[in-house]
Structure formats: structure tokens, C-alpha cells
């Protein structure tokens, strides 16, 4: 902290509208980083086995709260993993009790632990109708799983083949397009009206597919949806920094241990909860849009989820020298590499 402060920005304390906390020793190892910089987070349900029922969500919430270090405050907003067997009555019970904030739709096979996801959308129509009625949002992993569709096209094809028909059939359903990664995703979200929102991750604002593939294969930049071409990254930056209330932060911070990432068939996921706010301040400054950081990280999400913005504030400080983040953190489950934005980070959260 001895380096000179050259700029300061105070914003409403952020929330993370898409977060993987995992369970057990990994949960214990990572939760402090989210609790430090975010008041609330939408907790992804793709555990093994997945968080399917209201009772599952209640038990998982208790494990999360039990792993929170003493003195830290954090509100996990629980989601249920939508399956073809999800019971509309259980969803209603979870929503009414305030325990369940959203449901998560994984097309079966789209990503990590998505085997229990949806294959036949007719089978979940009853649940979607109940959600439309109660205003409960559906968080959508928007990629088709058809092996004949190129992985870089899976988001755009999902919009045409699945998302748009689903929304036409359920116009009152409130939908969040999770981690949009393409210009097409941005354009569709922007035109979708009040019932459609979109999260954008930290890393998709910073890397394009070259980070994964050019000059060697770099597993720590591999996630799903996979980072796309530069034109798409630029569209995401424009959307995030525009102030448009459609777009809000969902880090998709998704820790896997290094051995699971660094192998012949490595896991998808990038761990960013530790340095997201520093990365975002850098990106928004680069775009000449520091004044829009608060909307993206702290205000637009609560509006979509019909919640109040946090009463607490956060101050970000820019130093004249880079601030240090570890290359990796140690957890009881093993080491987890921290997202490297490939530029020096001079912004830090004042503690």
C-alpha cells in the first residue's frame, strides 16, 4: 500500500450474478474471495449430484454459510438445476419461501456436470409456465450440444434453434442469457425487452480465442462458452460499458484444481473471483467508461432480479505500480490457478 495512489472510484458494492462455489474443501478455499468483493451471488447448482430440489438448495446454502470465514458477510442466492423431472410444485415452494432465486437451464452435455440437463424441452414446459407465472428467472447456458455444430457457433445457433422458440412459447418467462460471448448474443439480449437480461464474465471482456490457442495451448484460458474471435470480445466490451441495463456482471468464476485443468482432456472454467474488480476497473478505464462500472457490477443486476442495490459501498484505488495477485491459490482440494489478464493490474479494492 506504500505505492502512490493516482485515482479513486467509489461504487455501490457489487454482486456476482453467476458464480461456481463448488462444495467441500474447494468451497472452503474459494468463498472468502467472493465474500470480500461481492455482497450477493447467484450460486450455480452444477454439483455432483446437482442441486435439484428446494431441499437440496437449502442444504447447500447451509454448507456455504458454514464455510464462510468468521466475520465475513455474504448472501448466496440459490438456484435449482432444471431437469426433465423437476416438480413445478417444488419450484413454487422454493420461490415462495424466498430460498430459490432462479432456475438454471443446462442443455444436457453442454458443460461441466450437465448430464442431468434438459434434452426435451416439452418435458419442462410445465415448470417454465409456473416460473413465468411467479416471475422466477431462468438462467440459461446458451449453447447447443449438437456435435455437428462447430463449438464457436454453438451460442449463435442456440439462440435461433432453442432460445428464441422457447421465449416465443413463454413470452412472460424472465430469462437471463448467461455468459454471452458473441455479437449475436449481445444483439439478441439488447433487443429482448424487459424480460431478458444477460450476464457477461470478466474473462470474456479480456481474452479472445487466441489466448487459448495461439503459441501453445493454454488450459487456464479454457472455459465454456469458449472465448470467441476479437470482434465478439469488442461487442461484449461495448455492451458492458454502455450502461444498458440489460447487461450485468456474472463472473462465472469456476475453480478447478490445476491437475484437472492441465491434462489431455482438461476441465472448462476460469477462476476470477479474486481479481475480478481489479480487472474490470482496468477494462472500464481502457474503454473510457469508469463511470459505467457501477451500473454493470452493482446496479443493473439487482434491477433485473427485482432486488435493492446493496447499501454498502466499495472503493477502488489505482496505484502507480502494479498490485500483486498470486499466480495460484492453495485450497484443501488442491492448487487453483488465478486468471491472468496478461496486463499489469494497477487497480485494487481498498480494504
170: left (phi over 0), alpha (psi -120 to 50) or beta: beta
When the beta carbons of 90 and 252 are compared against Zn ion, the nearer one is: 252
68 binds ligand DOR (CB under 6 A): no
292 binds, among Zn ion, ligand DOR, none (CB under 5 to 8 A by kind): none
Site for ligand DOR in 262-291 (CB under 6 A): 268-269
Give the cell for residue 33: 474471495
Q: Which of 37, 56, 244, 252 is catalytic?
A: 252
C-alpha cell at 304: 433485473
Instruction: Name every residue whose Cβ is closer than 8 Å to that of residue 54 and which is 6 or more positions away in sequence.
Output: 80, 90, 91, 93, 94, 97, 99, 100
By the rule CB under 6 A, 46 interacts with ligand DOR: yes
Q: How far, in Å, CA of 20 to CA of 174, rounded?
A: 22
What part of residues 176-205 is at the interface with ligand DOR (CB under 6 A)?
A: none
Count other Cβ atoms within 10 Å, centred on residue 215: 7
Question: Catalytic: 120?
Answer: no
Which of ligand DOR, Zn ion, none lies near 269, with the C-beta cut-off 5 to 8 A by kind?
ligand DOR
Given a contact cutoff of 8 angstroms between Cβ atoms, the answer to whether 229 and 181 are in contact is no
Residue number with CB closer to ligand DOR (103 or 254): 254
Candidates 252, 256, 281, 341: give the one binding Zn ion (CB under 5 A).
Answer: 252
* Residue in 84, 88, 109, 112 binding ligand DOR, rule: CB under 6 A: 112
Least separation in angstroms between residue 18's CB and Zn ion is 6
> Minimum distance between the CB of residue 252 and Zn ion, rounded to whole angstroms?
4
Whichever of 111 and 292 has its CB closer to Zn ion, that residue is 111
User: DSSP labels for 45-87?
Assistant: ---SS---SHHHHHHHHHHHHHHSPTT---EEEEEEE--TT--
Q: Which does 145 bind (CB under 5 to 8 A by kind): Zn ion, ligand DOR, none?
A: none
- Cβ contact 206:341 at 8 Å: yes
For residue 315, give the 3-state DSSP assignment. Answer: strand
Q: Match 409456465 to its residue by C-alpha cell.
A: 129
The site partner of 111 among ligand DOR, Zn ion, none (C-beta below 5 to 8 Å per kind) is ligand DOR
Instruction: Count Cα neighbours of 22 within 13 Å in the Cβ-side half-sphere.
Output: 21
Contact between 254 and ligand DOR per CB under 6 A:
yes
20 binds ligand DOR (CB under 6 A): yes
Q: Is 224 in the site for ligand DOR (CB under 6 A)?
A: yes
What are the start-end ranges of the E strands in the chain?
Answer: 5-12, 16-19, 40-43, 75-81, 100-105, 138-140, 175-177, 196-200, 247-249, 313-319, 328-331, 334-337, 347-349
Cell triple for 198: 444477460
207 touches ligand DOR by CB under 6 A? no
Binding mask 116-155 toward ligand DOR (x if CB under 6 A, else -) reads -------------------------x--------------
Interface contacts to ligand DOR, rule CB under 6 A: 20, 46, 111-112, 141, 223-224, 254, 268-269
Catalytic residues: 252
Name the site residues for Zn ion (rule: CB under 5 A).
Answer: 252
Amino acid at each position: 500500500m506504500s505505492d502512490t495512489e493516482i485515482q479513486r472510484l467509489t461504487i455501490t458494492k457489487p454482486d456476482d450474478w453467476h458464480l461456481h462455489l463448488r462444495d467441500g474443501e474447494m468451497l472452503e478455499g474459494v468463498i472468502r474471495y467472493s465474500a470480500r468483493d461481492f455482497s450477493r451471488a447467484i450460486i450455480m447448482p452444477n454439483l455432483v449430484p446437482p442441486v435439484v430440489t428446494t431441499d437440496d438448495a437449502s442444504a447447500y446454502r447451509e454448507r456455504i454459510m458454514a464455510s464462510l470465514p468468521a466475520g465475513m458477510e455474504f448472501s448466496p442466492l440459490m438456484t435449482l438445476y432444471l431437469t426433465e423431472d423437476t416438480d413445478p410444485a417444488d419450484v413454487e415452494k422454493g420461490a415462495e419461501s424466498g430460498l430459490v432465486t432462479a432456475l438454471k437451464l443446462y442443455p444436457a452435455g453442454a458443460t461441466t456436470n450437465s448430464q442431468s440437463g434438459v434434452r426435451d424441452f416439452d418435458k419442462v414446459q410445465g415448470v417454465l409456465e409456473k416460473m413465468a407465472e411467479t416471475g422466477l428467472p431462468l438462467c440459461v447456458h446458451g449453447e447447443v450440444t449438437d456435435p455437428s455444430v462447430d463449438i464457436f457457433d454453438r451460442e449463435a445457433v442456440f439462440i435461433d434453434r432453442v432460445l428464441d422458440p422457447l421465449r416465443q412459447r413463454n413470452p412472460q418467462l424472465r430469462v437471463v442469457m448467461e455468459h454471452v460471448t458473441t455479437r449475436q448474443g449481445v444483439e439478441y439480449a439488447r433487443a429482448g425487452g424487459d424480460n431478458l437480461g444477460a450476464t457477461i464474465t470478466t474473462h470474456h471482456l479480456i481474452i479472445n480465442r487466441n489466448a487459448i490457442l495461439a503459441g501453445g495451448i493454454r488450459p487456464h484460458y479454457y472455459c465454456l462458452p469458449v472465448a470467441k474471435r476479437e470482434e465478439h470480445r469488442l461487442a461484449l466490451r461495448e455492451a458492458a460499458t454502455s450502461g444498458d441495463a440489460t447487461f450485468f456482471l456474472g463472473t462465472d468464476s469456476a475453480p478447478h484444481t490445476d491437475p484437472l485443468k492441465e491434462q489431455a482432456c482438461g476441465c472448462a472454467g476460469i477462476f476470477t473471483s479474486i481479481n475480478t474488480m481489479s480487472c474490470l476497473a482496468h477494462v472500464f478505464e481502457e474503454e473510457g467508461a469508469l463511470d459505467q462500472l457501477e451500473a454493470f457490477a452493482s446496479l443493473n443486476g439487482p434491477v433485473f432480479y427485482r432486488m435493492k442495490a446493496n447499501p454498502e459501498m466499495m472503493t477502488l484505488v489505482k496505484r502507480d505500480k502494479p498490485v500483486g495477485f498470486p499466480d495460484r491459490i492453495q485450497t484443501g482440494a488442491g492448487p487453483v490457478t488465478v486468471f491472468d489478464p496478461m496486463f499489469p493490474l494497477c487497480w485494487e479494492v481498498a480494504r
